[in-house]
Structures are given as structure tokens and as C-alpha cells.
Structure 1
Amino acid sequence: MNLLQQVQVLSARLAPLGWGALLLRHGLDLGASDLEAELARPLPGIDREGVPGFADFHADATRGVEPGNPAQSLLYHALASPAVHPTPNGLPAPNPAAYPTLEELDALENYIYARQQLALNAAELARLRVVVFAYQYRTAARTGHGLYADLTYSRTGIARVGTSPAHYDPRRRSFWPVPANGRARQDIAAMGARYGAFLAVQRQLSPREVLVGGLANDADAGRRFWIPRHKLFAGPECLPGLHLTLEYGEFHLNEKLRRIHLASVPGAIKPLPGFNIDQPPFVRSSKSGTTFVELQSAGSSLLVLPVVSGRLVELAIQRRSTTNTDEIVRYKVPKAIVHHPPQPEDNRYGLASFKITARTGVRLAPEYVNMRHEVVADATGKLRVDDLNAWSKDDYEEKLNDGDYEAAHFLDNSADGCVGVKVAGLPHDMADPVAAYSLVTAPDFLPLVDQTTIFTWATQLQNGQRTHFAQGSPNPLSRGRWAANPAILRPDTTSAAFDPADETMTAVLNHRQLGPRTSQLAAPPTVADEAVSYLPDAGANVFAPGWDVSLSSDEQSGVFFMTSLGLGSPFPEDAKLCAALNSFWPAAAPDASRTFGITTLAPTAQPLLDTELGYHPRHRLVQSNTVAARPGWDGEFGPFLEQLDQGLFVNYADLDRSDYVSNTLAGLLHLDDLSRITAEEMIARMEALRACIRQLPGSGDMVSTTRLFLVEAEAIADWATVATRFDGRLTGSGYRYVFVDMDAEIQKDPSDQRRQRRKVKRRFECQLAMQGRKATLLVYDDDAIRQPTVVNP
């Protein structure tokens, strides 16, 4: 079938499923006998205000299909926008089959570009290259210009590992980490990324291009970015007079375990005899037989889908030459070296993580390595793994401090790599295609919270983001300006995939098309959008060490570059520290500082609710049979107040006794609750937190410096239904936050060696009514003295 016939088929399939009636409200008839003419004619009655999901359709667009311009094509917006649904009321249709597939969207994209009839002369072709982009159609609020829904591009895509296959949710027009089987508390669906090949030109940004999140720094004005111009697809209709074929390929690499033992890395550990660190699993790549991703075509575009094994973490195995048997890969844990203040030679983070200290701001190896799973031989010589977390306090601490035991290495199937393409049929004098950077990284436990949204909020805070985040910044990866890993090879070659001078790899770009109406408009009304991004503005920039990617360098060339080799081994080892120290706030990391009783250095900055952190069996609501005991998203139980003979205490998990690797092996990590949190909900929680801290006595007035501990956090759907509300003026929705001032002395929980407690000196209960992001009324109870305060942040 030619492209018009493909569009006719998709129109015939979708029209009776609600799309025919929906588009007729704009004057577009999918059942027209001459569909080509129908899609090309001007439509005088496009209803952007009355039909849900079209408020952010380009204000100057007039046709069902605008040649070469998906953002001004009504049919494409309807089918591709996550805000549009084939129902009279604009709510999602119950049947996923009522939505277009990615293959159908791809066919429509190809038709739109083919209608442009782009003819390029030799001089124009000489300026163009074939470039692979990750791309996504987005609502206006998630674009760089904010004026209309638009295709958004980046040369980096982020796929995420999971325990079950990737789940594309057509209603969201995106992948979704909650598995299709509905086992949201047992499984995490992998997340894919979509790529396409485009003719592109490399130049400085013009007024027609904008970056999502804005310019990263002043140097951006002089940097050269790849600007997509025309999508490429197979067949004779893409470019007049040419017949194209496309063949995609990939290369991905994980060498975290090798780096832990590489002699050139300061602080590295000598490998045990008989293990070869130059072979899998120490170094794994697409060329050494490790399959990190599956490439799946979606028409002419490509889906990169992580390969799943049913586990996020598993033991590393290699045939050991000294025994000629397959053995658990392991290393000898050295004796603890810890200084106060910390020194580069220190080899512990806290008590329980082996640490390879970063030098000069870059990571040459995983900074944190799990060391709490000892490999021992039984009486028959068979190897087994003992979880040291089960040991008693004294034995546990002595073991970890003394070292001199063999700890297991684990695999996590994260990687970084490239997606390349071969295009036949173009003029032979065109240069080689430019590959995209591909990250296969940890799950996104907050899929609806984009990093850029939080970054924008933080940069607008009065007196700066340091009033909220004690360290670091919610800085999106799209603002990073680093080269990509030079060890990444082009598919099917031994040459490097990336130019070490190319620093714009993670930028996220939009074309700005201003017509008579669009140029006069402010941002359109926000439309409902539950799509999940796989572009870098939803990922975390290189932090310490990072969640999605880390920063390393080549000592000989002095080039800094992004790579996955500096991330924790395995990734849950670092995930705990990122989550506990919210100050580093990668987009994918929930704030678990409440779980671990943290009040200094990084007090909670983005509150998770009690239901998300988990209810301990001794929590007051469990004791009263109000809720059932259950662990939270990370397999731990959240904090709770307990009344003892000695007074009121806060009971919380011991950071040094919590092991996310053990929890992952037990299948306890999930995102059932967290997947419901939107960016606006998270901002509202943070604004409520800020309002409380400003009003409470002894709080220091800043979230980043307060010594008060948020021990209880609850969302209130309707204050009028809450019998214990302090003030009748509390109406509508809001939050109930309970803060305490605790003694510095830490006591062990004698009934649970993995938990601690601290005595409460003072307790405050805050009740807040909210309107969107703003707290309209705050009432707090301090020793039964209620203090109403009208708050207008």
C-alpha cells in the first residue's frame, strides 16, 4: 500500500470507534470518498474551545493534513495528542483498541512529510546529514515554546528497565511503567523509547528553535545543535526521485563491574584469582553477546525496548579459571577506611556501602558497591549467599568494618549506548549518519513528575532554590552539556559512535512556528496529559553519582563525558542513597528521607505520604484497624509515632540496615502508589511543606535548614468530612502534616534491629486547605494551642 492507502485504512478503522464523530465537530469527514482532498482542504470550523483536547492545537492550523507539518495537521494532533480521546466528554475510551497504534501514527507522519514533496538540490544535500532522534508529540505545556502541541526532539532517548515487558498505553500515547497484567505491586513494566531518522542540519540556534527548559548556559548561544528538517522513511514517497531503505542498529555497553577492579582506577579492588575482568559479566556489550535491548519497528520508526528477565537485579556468574566451574562473581571487601571529614581514600559510605571516591568531580567506577551479601561455601563446597542484613547489630557492624570477606557482585542490566541507522538510496556523497545516544537505566518511580517541571518551579522560588533543596538541584538532563561516552561504538563497526566535541547530545528541541494568531497568543490553557516522557527533560542530570547517567572523563584527552559506569553497582545500591538524600533529587527518585529519620543535611523536600512510604505494624492507624500494615514503594516501612513509658518517640528505619538490593531481590520495589503522583500534586505538597515551615516555631523558616521532622503526612480529599479538623474554615482538599522536634540521641528499637527511634521534645500538627499549589489556610496545634494563619504564598 502507498501512504494514502495506509491513511485510508487507519481512518476507516478508527472512524467508527469515535474518531469520525469527534473530527466531524471540526468539519473533517474521515468517511469522505476523496480522503486526500478532504485532508487537504481548509477547515473553517476547527473548535479549539468546545472540543476537549484541542485547546493547544496550533492556532494558525486550518487543515486535516498540513504538508510537512504534523503540529499543524488536525488529524495528527487528534490521534497523537495524549489530551485527545474519541469520546463526547473527552474522557479516555475504555477500549485501548479505539486508539491508533504507533505503526498507524508512523504511517500518518510519513504521509504528512511525503505531501511536502521536499526536493533538495546537491548543495542543500551537502549541508544535511542523516541524524537519529528520539522524538515525541507533546502537549503545549511540555514544549519549549509553550504555544501549541508539537513534535519534540532529542538526540538522547531514555529506556528504563523493569521486571515485565514494556507496556505501551495507547490512551496515554506513551509507555507506562504499570504492567499490563495489573500486578502493580509485584511487577514494574520496562519503558521504551521511540526513535526516527531525519535529515538534519548542524548550526547555531535561530529564533525558530527553542530548547525545553531554556538555554543551559551562556555558551548555548554559540553551540551548534542538530536541527531536524525532514523525517526519513522507506519507499519512493519520502523524497521525490529517490527510493529509500532504512536499517537500524544498536550498541550498548555496561562495564561497571570491570571498573571496580581496574588497576588504573584509584580505590579499585584487585580481582580475585581466576576471574577475568575483561570478559562478561565484568564488561558486557552488544558485541560480546549481551542483549540489553530489543529493536522493534513501528513502521519506519524504531522502538528500543529493554530486555527483561523477570528481575531487576541478579547475581553475576562467570566460569572461574582456577576451578573451571561457573561461580558467583565476588570481591574481597577491604577493611573500612573512614575519616572525619571524609578523605579521597575513604572506602565506605556510612557503614554499609563500599565506596570508590570520585576524583576531581568525575567517576571512573561505580561510586557505591553493595557489600552486604557474603559468598560462603557450605560443607560440600557449594557456594551460597548470606544476607548480612539479618545479622545482629554488633556482629553486622564488626563484619562490615573489618571486611576480609567475599561479597557478591550483582547485575542490573543498565547500560548506555547508541542507536544508528543505515539509509540506502540517498546521494552517495552524504556523510555517515549521526547516531543517537541511548540510555537504559533505572525505573522511573515518579513517571508523571517531569524533572523540568520541578526545575522550573524551583528556579522561581523567592530567595532561590536553596531555600528548599539543601544540596544539588532538580536539574534536568536536558540541560547537561557533555559529550557522550567515547567507548560506545557504532553498530557493526569498531569506530566510535560520538564526536567528543559534541556537547549538545541531551538537549530537547522544538521548532517554533509563529503564524498571525500564534504570534499574538500567550500559552494556551493546560490540557490533561498523562503521557510519560522518554526524553532527557524528564531525566536527571549528572549528580553524585546520578540516577540516569554519571559523569566521567578521559585523563589523557581531558574530555568529560556521560556514561553509566559511575552509577551504583547494582543501581538499587545508589537508589537508596539518592532517595534518602532528597537533596540530589533526580527525577526518578522518590524522597525517602522521612523513612530514614533524616533531619540534618537533607531533610524531606518533596513529601511522600504515609500510604506511599508504608505502614509499620505498630503504626497507630494499623493498631486501630484503620489501615492494613504494608511496606512502601521501597520495601521499607515509613516512620511512625509510638508512645512508650519513657515518653513519645519517632520510630524509623535505620539507613545503614536498609538494603534496597535485598528488597529488590525479594521483589518488594513497586510504583503502584507513586505512579499516581503528578507534577502538580508534588508541587502542591512542597508548597504545603514550605507554608508549614514558615509558620512553625523553631523551624528555621526554610525547608532546607529546618530541624523539624515530618513524621506523618496525609492527603485530605475534603476537610468537611474530617471530624478532627481544627477549624471550620478548613474546606475543600488539603493536607495534614505532623512535625516533631526530636532529641539528638538515637536509640535502637529492641524489637527490630533494622529500626531506630528518637524521643520527641515537641509536636506540631498542621492542617492545610489548598487551592492548586497555594495554601489558603493553615492551622497548627502546638501543645493544644491552635494557631490559625491565613497563608498566601
Structure 2
Amino acid sequence: MTDIETRALDVLRKRFAAGWAPVFARFGIAPDFNAPVAALRDSLLQPLAPFNRDDPLVSDLASDAHAALCANDPAKSIVYHVWAGAHPTHGLERPSLEELDLVENYLYVLGEHEPVPVPDGSLVPMVLAYAYRHRAATPHRLHADMVYSRVAITRVGTREARFSATEQSWESWAGDGFRVTRARVGLFLCRIVDGAAGNVSILDNVDGDAQRNFVLPVRKLFEGARIPGFASAIRSIRFRGYFLGDKLKRVIDVSGTSVPGTLDVTRAPFVNEARVEVPVGASGGDAYIELNAFEGACVVGPRPRAQLVSVAMQEEQIARFTVPPRDGPPSLLRGHGIDAGNLSFNRHYTSMQVPSGKTRLVLETAFAQLEHVFPGALYPLPKVRPRVAPEYVNIRHRVEPDGRITVLGNTLPAGEYEALLDAGGFEAAMFDDGVMDGAVWAVVDGVPTSAAFVLVTAPDFFPRADEEDLQAWSQTLPSRAALHQFKEGGPTPLSAGRFVPNLLLNDPWSGEPLFASTDNTVAALVSRAVPSAADGRLPPKGTAFRRRAGGFLADSASNEFAPGWDVSYDEQDGTYYYTTHGLGSPFPEDVKFCASANAYWPAAAPDAARTFERPGIPSAIPMLDDELGFHPDSPYGAPDAQPGWDGEFGPFFQMREGVAGVNSADIRRSDYVYNATQLTFASRVFDLSSEELIRRMEALRACIEAIPKAGSEMPALTQYWIVSATAVWNAEPRATHYTFQLCVPDNDHVQPVVSSTVSSAAAPGYWRLWRPVSKRIKAECQFERPDDLVPCVVRYASYDETIGAYGDWQEREIR
């Protein structure tokens, strides 16, 4: 204890001297650091006189927290609460994560001789992802508290990781690229409890949870800690990690296609593995993963990449495969317009699709068509088709015999382009995106513990918004139900999922499986049980938003998989498990289809449905014109106009031969992978909060309900296409007005066009589509106060083709 206590008190002494002393004095905390250690310890543990709990630093402190430090309980330790919470500190520097780890350890050292309630059954050492969160972000919503999960979310990027102590989160954006994000995982002694309310608080309760087993920490472990029932303290701890990324190999194995004989599909880049072992107080890793170990915790995540997506290489060769011919019904059954030819077993638009089974693919498609006919039974869609390989694979980069790469969408005219992709037979380049999944565990005195499941996945474009927030809002009123807003998918967070981690992950040191088929609550977020007396004091979900910055626990990812954005799923012996090997190859291939399907997976992601106008898929959360990018040919564009977040440009009204229509991006030509290599994809992160996304949803819903009906008054089923979306802020932090210009497109008469001002076929915005439109209308909604989430007034005007202008406004109040 002496060493941990000495070093922990040194942290307190240093921070108090650096400006924190007057802050804590407000709460009656004024330790004498010159006093003997025993006296100093007692002063930190003794109850304080009543203090002002309205102070922003302690406004969500546990009501029974009365001391600077509380043995065994960080949430009831005022010093820890102030330092670890995401409160404004007005320039005062917080302790580092390593220092917080030491303070946490000290709290458990202080209570190591106190009786620890040990339930029936053994206590299990486990590694968990954990974070200290404010009240509204906890499962019990009573006060700020530790929240735990067996799943951690980390994300790839091109810039070094940076932890924001002010917001207690990993920064997502470096100004010129995405930062890699990391996760904090710790070693805990845990008990296994069922999901009854008296045993554990669960953030997203799911039917059947009362009969499922959940992991709840009893105390933190570290070198020198004592485990109840053991005679000696822990002597040594080593953290280990193992990660696997085998998407490229699975493309070859499952699709049955071939690679040149000079390539070995059992080695990188077809199979990428990371194996890491680090003692406490050290850092280590390999080319893919970095692990920084403290004493009772570690930080894990990917290393920065030179590019988000790069051509996969094996020595001096491009990793490539022969594209199989299109497998589908004859052309006369393919339909018309933008979706012509899209009915196929191994194509999705101009991407190769790698279905895990034709029968399940047909069944899944049928469910999708019936989802809005029988929403009570089929929303959300049942998971019927696991993704044994990347669902979508980029095949638009042809490798020539001399090693050059031809981007087919930038070179071939309409007709020839689609015909070549249908015929296949050419070699397509494969891409490395750094996406993997794995596990982190500890070896305690030579004995391995249970592991945490760690995802290394795609960047988060909305780091300040969460699935959990949108899901909570969708449940506040029946009219806000997700199925009314989202034609595809919805905002269900991964923390509501009950699959198991990747069952194919084995400990490379022992060969033993790292996870079991019974680990079906790994994604759940848990914290201490709610006392029965407190049940009536719980605020309803959705009344306060949970956080202001990105997180690494499972509620910051999506539970929608088709295939997914953060994670997908596969099956072994009838058990569904989470894995990244079903995600697109590379991940921007998924992002394109996700974004174009009203941000299907996840909802808290850019919605580019209006960029492409896929038939029957309207926007759910409108993005603004400047976020999508003004095309050089558009009224607000310029010859040097820059594309939007995805390397594409938004739609705009355009007359052709006296016919009103809309010019838009072509989802068949659009290539987010090519855009990534040109550094135009993922060119920005959006500083949009959950509140802002909700305001946009409410604005769209109010306008669709007010204007003349076209298909449905629900955003999920309307026939209207949002061609323009703008906002007015009037120096307010949030928009006071949103204005939408909408129309009904004629998707059966789509024509390919090229830009009149963009001169290069390889430049963004050259290959486009144009289609006639009707029922053009403008709608504007107004918010009474800047903090309102629901507009108060909607007014609209129809477009008069004879005069070429909008008519008189009609107004409707929102109640």
C-alpha cells in the first residue's frame, strides 16, 4: 500500500499546488499535505460539512458522497468525480489517464481491508472497457458513475491519438484528417449476476435480460492489490492483445474467385494479425495496434495510417482478384431507371456483393419489402443473413498488365461502363483499410483473465452525437418512432445488442478461445444496481442528452447490420457473433451505401440519401447544402468549388431542353474509395450534436406533415426528394430557421450527363445524372427559441412553372 499511497498522494499534492486547491476548498476539502501520511489519509476520508451541490462541478455527484475520497467507490469520491467528469474546469489542467488510474487504485487500496460482499459463486477477474460518465449517460441516471462494458470501440485514422482531458474523450478530428481513437480498459474483479433490477443497472434493457448473465465489477485489480480469499497480493500483471483482420482472404474464399498464383492469400494483406504483450508501466505494439499499460488499466487502439484507404500490397505486387461475371436474372427483368440491373445475387449497383447464401438473401430482401407493411412484426428487421465475408467489395479499380490502375468509373462512357462491370473477367485491385477486431486481456501472476472485445473500425463523422440519444428521442412520442423517420435501419445502439464476440478469436499464446457462445451480454453497458427506494426518482430517458463528445463504449456504435458501419455479424453453430469481417472491402464501400440509404448503419452518421436519390429511400436526417457540397454547375457553385464530406456534390435544380429536373450524383459512378485516395472522402468531421440532429429530424417531419401529401406524411415513406436544405442562425448557436426545397422525382427517366464546367473525367462532379421532377415546393420551419428541439411554425409555397417562381406562402402552427 505504501508505494501506491505515496504516489497517489503525490498526484493530489501536485494538482492542488497547480491551482486546484481553491476549487476544492469550495467543498471544504483543504488537506494538509505536510501532515503525517496517516493524518492526511484520515482527513481525505472524513465526512465533510454540507456544501453547495448546485455547483456545476458537483451538480450530478452522488447524494451520499460526503468525502474527498471514498474507499472502493470513485463515484462517491469528490476529488475523483471532479477530475474524471466532463465538467468545464476553466483552464485548470486535469490529471492524465495514468494519474487517474493511480487515484482509482488508491481508492481500492483504502478499502482492501473492508468487508467486500461476496455473493454465492466465485469472483472472476476480467478486463472491461470503462468510463466515468455524468448522470444522464449512466444506466441508472441517478448520479455520475462508472459505466462498464465488455466491448470497446476504437477507430482508424491518419493522425495521432489525442485525449481531451476537458471532455474526457478521444478527439476525432485533427483539422486536416481523422485522428485514431483509443479505448481505456481496466482489470476488475467481477461477479456474474442475472439482469434483475436489484442486481445491476443496464443502459438498454432488452427482452429476456432478467434471465441473462451480466458482469458487474466488485473492485479494481492492479499489482499489489489483494483478492478476497487469497493470502498474498497480486505480484505481476501483463496486458495482452490479439487482433485479426481477414476481410480480403474472405472475399476470395467465399466468392470463389481467384488471385494470381504469385499471391499468397494466407499472408498479409489478405490476413493481418496483431499480437501485443506489455507489462504494467510500459508501451508496445506492432504496425497495427498500440497498447499503453498503466497499473490497473491500459489504453488500446490503432496506430495512425498514411491514408485511410490504400491499395493493398504484398511485397511489390498489388493484391487483386478476378471479378466474377454478374449473377442475376436476365436484363428484361432488371427494371428501369436508376435501379436498372440492380437485381443480382453478386452485385449491388456497381459493387461486387458477396452473399453468404442465396436463400437467405432472398428472404432478407422479402423482409425488407414487407417491413413497412407489417412494422409491428418486422421492425427492426430480423437478422437472418450473417455476413461471412465483406458484403460489398470495390471492383471499379482495374489492374492493368503493366501494374497501372484504371478507375473504370472515370474513363468509360455509359453503357460500356456497366457492361464491363457485369461481364467481369478483369483483375480488380483490393484495398487495405486497417479495420480489424480483437481482444485485450490480462495475465495475473501467470493466469490469463477473461477478455474485453475491441473493435478497430471506421471513423465517426458525428463524434458529438450518439445512437443512444436518437433512440431515446424516438421513444418519447409514437409519432417520433424510428420506423416513421427511417426507411432503412434506425438508431438502435450496439449496447442493445445481445450477440457474442467473434468466436474465431483464439489466444495465440495458448490456442484457447477468447470468447464463448454464452457471452451474449458483452455489448451491454452496466453500472451499480438502483436501490428500490430510488425507482421513483429516475428521470425519463431522452430528457437530458448524455455527453458532448465521442465515446468508446458500445452505445457509441450501431446495432444495425446490413452489413454495418462499426461492426457486422456472422454465425457459428447457430450462434450469431460480432465481427468486422462482414464490413465492406474497404469500409468506404459500406459508407456509400449506408449514407445513401438515410444513414442506415448507423443513424448518427451522414445521411446522403438526397445526394443520390435512390428510389424509395428518402432522407431521414437532412444534411445542409454546404455539407454536401455545391456543384460547379449549380447556382451557388463556382469553377473551383470543393466537394462535400464524401468527395461528391449535392443535387441542384437544372432545366434541360425546357424541362424542369434535378442534377445529382450517380451512385453507380460514385466511388468513395477513389475519393479516399484523392483525399476528398472523409474531408471533414461534423460538429453536430444529438440535439442538432434531432432538430433537423423534427424540422423535416413538421414540413412533410404540413405540405401537400406525396406518398405519405411520414419522412420514411414520403415521395419527396429534398434537393436543397439550408439554415439561418442569426448569430444564435443553433439555427432559427430551416428551409427545404423539395420535389417528386421521375426515377424511371434518369439520364446520364456530364458537367459543363468540370473538364476532367477523373475530377469530382464530372459524371452525373439528371431526371425530370414535379410537385416542386419550398417549406420553411421556424423555432421559437434557440434551445427548442421542435419548430413552432411551418410555412410552404408551391412552385409555379408558368412564372418560374414560388407562389404565396401558406402557414401552419405546430402544436
Interval containing the TM-score (normalised by the shorter chain)? 0.7 to 0.9
Residue in 1 that maps onto 2:388? 364
**782-791 or 145-154, which moves further after superposition?**
782-791
In the TM superposition, residue 205 of structure 1 has moved relative to its aligned partner by: 2.3
Q: What is the identity, as a one-letter code, of the residue corresponding to 1:71? A: A
Contact 1:633 1:668 in 2 (8 A): yes
Q: Give the residue type in structure 1 aligned to 2:3.
A: N
2: CA distance, partners of 1:621 / 1:15 = 55
Q: Structure 1 residue 787 and structure 2 residue 810: aligned? A: yes
RMSD: 2.9
- Tell me what 2:471 maps to: 455
Cα contact 1:507–1:536 (8 A) shared by 2: yes
Which residue number corresponds to residue 689 of structure 2? Answer: 678
1:330 aligns with 2:320: yes
Separation (CA, whole Å) in 2 of partners of 1:567 and 1:4: 47
Partner of 2:750: 746
For residues 569-593 of structure 1, the C-alpha deviation after alignment (integer angstroms, 9 at most, x for no partner) is 1111111111111262315631111
CA distance in 1, matches of 2:750, 2:32: 72
Alignment-derived partner of residue 102 in structure 2: 107
1:258 equivalenced with 2:256 (yes/no): no
Give matches, 1:602-613, under 5 Å: 602-613=617-628
Alignment-derived partner of residue 437 in structure 2: 416
* SS of alignment partner, residue 422 of structure 1: strand
Q: Is contact 1:192-1:534 (8 Å) kept?
A: yes
Supply the AA of the counterpart residue of 2:553. Answer: L
Describe the superposition over 1:146-186 as per-residue Cα deviations: whole angstroms up to 9, x where unpaired. 1111110000111100011111111111101112xxxx2x3
State the alpha-carbon separation in 1 of the partners of residues 268 and 487 from structure 2. Answer: 40
- Of residues 665, 681, 686 in structure 2, which corresponds to 1:669? 681
SS at match of 2:243: strand
Q: Secondary structure at the match of 2:701?
A: helix
Pair 1:76-2:66 in alignment: no
Question: 5 Å matches for 1:739-778?
Answer: 739-744=742-747, 745-751=749-755, 753-770=766-783, 771=785, 772-778=788-794
Deviations 1:498-550 (A, max 9, x none): 11222111111111354988975647995884232101111111511111111
Instruction: Pick the aligned partner of 2:706 from 678, 687, 695.
Output: 695
Structure 2 residue 206 is matched with structure 1 residue 195: no
**SS of residue in 1 equivalent to 2:28:** coil
Query: Which stretch of the first structure deviates more once superposed, 3-12 or 536-545?
Result: 3-12
Choose the corresponding residue for 1:221, options 187, 204, 210.
Answer: 210
Q: Tell me how far 1:630 sits from its aligned partner.
A: 2.0
Question: Does the 8 A contact of 1:26 with 1:46 survive in 2?
Answer: yes
Counterpart of 2:106 in 1: which secondary structure? Answer: helix
SS in 2 for 1:655: coil
Alignment partner of 1:261: what SS? helix
> Residue 247 of structure 2 contacts residue 271 of structure 2 at CA under 8 Å; is this kept in 1?
yes
Q: Which residue of 2 aligns with 1:132?
A: 127
3-state DSSP class of the match of 1:78? Answer: helix
Aligned match of 1:353: 351
Corresponding pairs, count? 741
Residues 538-573 of structure 1: CA deviation (Å, up to 9, x unaligned): 11115111111111112xx22221111111111111
Residue 501 of structure 2 is aligned to residue 484 of structure 1:
yes
Number of the residue aligned with 1:538: 556
User: Are 2:200 and 2:216, in contact at CA under 8 Å, matched by a contact in 1?
Assistant: no
Unaligned runs of 5+ residues in structure 2 are 277-284, 335-340, 361-384, 756-764, 799-805
Instruction: Work out whether 1:619 is the aligned partner of 2:630.
Output: no
Cα shift at 1:602: 1.8
Contact 1:12 1:30 in 2 (8 A): no
SS at match of 2:400: strand
Overall identity of the aligned pairs, in %: 33
Contact kept, 8 Å, 1:57 with 1:72, in 2: the verdict is: yes
Pair 1:768–1:210, CA change in 2 (3 A): farther
Corresponding position: 1:467 with 2:455: no
* 1:264-663 correspondence runs (5 A): 265=254, 267-286=255-274, 291-318=287-314, 326-339=316-329, 346-350=345-349, 352-359=350-357, 360=360, 361-378=385-402, 383-394=403-414, 395-424=416-445, 432-462=448-478, 464-512=481-529, 514=531, 520=537, 522=539, 526=544, 529-554=547-572, 557-582=573-598, 584-587=600-603, 589-598=605-614, 600-622=615-637, 629-643=641-655, 646-663=658-675
Distance 1:232 1:491, change over 3 A: farther
Tell which deviates more after alignment, 24-33 or 762-771. 24-33
Do structure 1's residue 3 and structure 2's residue 4 form an aligned pair?
yes
Structure 2 CA distance for partners of 1:308 and 1:520, relative to 1, 3 Å: closer
Q: What amino acid maps onto 1:790 in structure 2?
A: E
The answer to whether the Cα contact below 8 Å between 1:769 and 1:775 also exists between their aligned partners in 2 is yes
CA contact (8 A) 1:213 1:456 kept: no
Give per-residue Cα distances to partners, 1:451-495, cap 9 Å, x unaligned.
111122223442542211113222211111112212111252211
- Determine the structure 1 residue equivalent to 2:51: 46
Preserved contact between residue 418 and residue 436 of structure 1 (Cα < 8 Å): yes
Partner residue, 2:164: 169
Shift of 1:634: 1.0
Residue pair 1:15, 1:31 contacting (<8 A) in 2 also: no
Structure 1: how far apart are the matches of 2:342 and 2:606? 29
Letter in 2 for 1:785: D
Shift of 1:290: 6.7
| Worse-matched range after superposition: 7-16 or 250-259 | 7-16
Shift of 1:38: 3.0
Q: Distance in 1 between matches of 2:584 and 2:735?
A: 43
2:730 matched to 1:718? yes
Deviation at residue 781 of structure 1 after TM alignment: 2.0
Shift of 1:4: 3.0
- Pick closer, same or farther for the CA change 1:334–1:541 going to 2, 3 Å: same
State how far apart, in whole Å, the 2-side matches of 1:206 and 1:670 are. 43
| C-alpha spacing 1:343/1:202, structure 2 compared with 1 (3 Å) | farther
Aligned partners of 1:696 and 1:501: how far apart in 2?
Answer: 51
Match of 1:36 in 2: 41
Q: More deviation in 474-483 or 131-140?
A: 474-483
Q: Secondary structure at the match of 1:37?
A: helix
1:85 corresponding residue in structure 2:
88
Pick aligned residue for 2:154 from 159, 166, 177? 159
Q: Deviations over 1:586-625 (max 9, x none)?
A: 1563111111133x332100111122212222333345x9
238-247 or 445-454: bigger deviation: 238-247
CA-CA distance at 1:647 after TM superposition: 4.4
Under a length normalisation based on structure 2, what TM-score does the superposition of the two structures give?
0.85
C-alpha distance in 2 between matches for 1:293 and 1:99? 27
Aligned to 1:428: none
Q: Which amino acid aligns with 1:362?
A: P
Name the counterpart of 2:144. Answer: 149
Q: Equivalents in 2 of 1:789, 1:346: separation in Å?
A: 47
Q: 1:21 to 1:505 in 2, by over 3 A?
A: same
